[in-house]
Every structure is written in structure tokens, then in C-alpha cells.
Amino acid sequence: MQFALLIYEPPEAFASRKSDGTDPYTGAWRAYHKALVESGVFVAGDPLEVPETGTTIKIREGKRGVQDGPYADTKEQLGGFTILELPSLDAALEWAARCPAASYGVVEVRPLAPHTRRRITG
């Protein structure tokens, strides 16, 4: 089954994106990604641009509300996601624990919802 690792990072982790790529955090990510691919569990994934680049929109009673910035006002912000193919939640938690973001931010593990997907896509 497939699991999404939702990666929440603190500001310092986002700041490391401006580095030349030799910082330990980026190095750890490079190695982690390689391990995921070589172990045959990686399905998809991408980092997201920094939270300040987000724009949030909602429509209530016909009125549009647009806001700069991310939806949730928390210290850790969604910084990316990875989708993995694994036999169980236990295995997904193992890989989540190895994720470099788990040491500095938070990694949420969520199963994808194929049933809901089928209801929508028919």
C-alpha cells in the first residue's frame, strides 16, 4: 500500500535551501532519497517552495478571501511530501524515522486513500 510522508520543517530547515548544497541537512536528504530509491520503495515526491510563497484562498457566502502565506500558522510548515510503496504502517514509520526532517521538524505518515480516489475518478 502507499503512504505519504508529509514533511513539516522549522524555519532553519527552510533557510538551508539557500545554501550551496554542502550543508549537512541537504546532504542527509540526498542520501535519504537515494536510499529510498535503491530500496525500491520510492513512488513520488517533491519539495515545496518556502511557506511565504503560499497564497491561501477561500470562498464564503460568495465572497472571495485571499491571504498571503500558508494556511496554518505554526512554527513547522509543510515543506514537501514523499509517497512510498510499503507493506505496512510499521514499515512506513521506520522510513519516516530515517527522514532527516524527523530530527528537526515533524514527519506525518498518512496512508493514501485509494477508495476515495476511485469514488472521485469513477
Partner 1 sequence: MSGSDSDEEKVHRTVERVARESYGRLVAYLSVHTKDLAGAEDALSEALLKALTAWPRDGVPQNPEAWLLTTARRSLIDFFRHQRVVLASEPDLLLLTQNSAEATLETNFPDERLKLLFVCAHPAIDPAMHTPLMLQTVLGLDAVRIAGAFLVSPKTMGQRLVRAKTKIRDGGIRFEAPEQEELSPRLDAVLDAIYAAFGIGWDDVAGVDQRGRDLTEEAIWLARVLLQLMPNEAEVCGLLALMLHCEARRAARRARDGRYVPLSEQDPKLWSHPLIEEAERHLAEAAKYGRPGRFQLEAAIQSVHAERGRSGRIEWTAIVRFYEQLNRISPTIGRRTGYAAALAEANGAEEALAVLDTIDQGAVSSYQPYWAVRAHLLQLLGKGPEAQHAYDRAIGLAEDPAVREFLLQKRADFSS
Side chain identity, residue 26: T
Q: Is residue 90 near partner 1 by the rule CB under 8 A?
A: yes
CB of 17 to partner 1, least distance (A): 17
Binding piece for partner 1, criterion CB under 8 A, among 11-19, 26-34, 79-87, 110-118:
26-34
Among 94, 108, 110, 111, binds partner 1 (CB under 8 A): 94
Q: Is residue 105 near partner 1 by the rule CB under 8 A?
A: no
The answer to whether residues 5 and 108 touch, using CB atoms and an 8 Å cutoff, is: yes
Side chain identity, residue 105: G
39 class by beta-carbon count within 10 Å (0-12 exposed, 13-18 middle, 19+ buried): exposed
Give the integer Cα–Cα distance in Å for 61 and 70: 22
Side chain identity, residue 76: E
Q: Is residue 97 near partner 1 by the rule CB under 8 A?
A: yes
Which residues are near partner 1 by CB under 8 A?
Answer: 22, 24, 27-28, 30-36, 38-39, 89-90, 93-94, 97-98, 100, 102-104
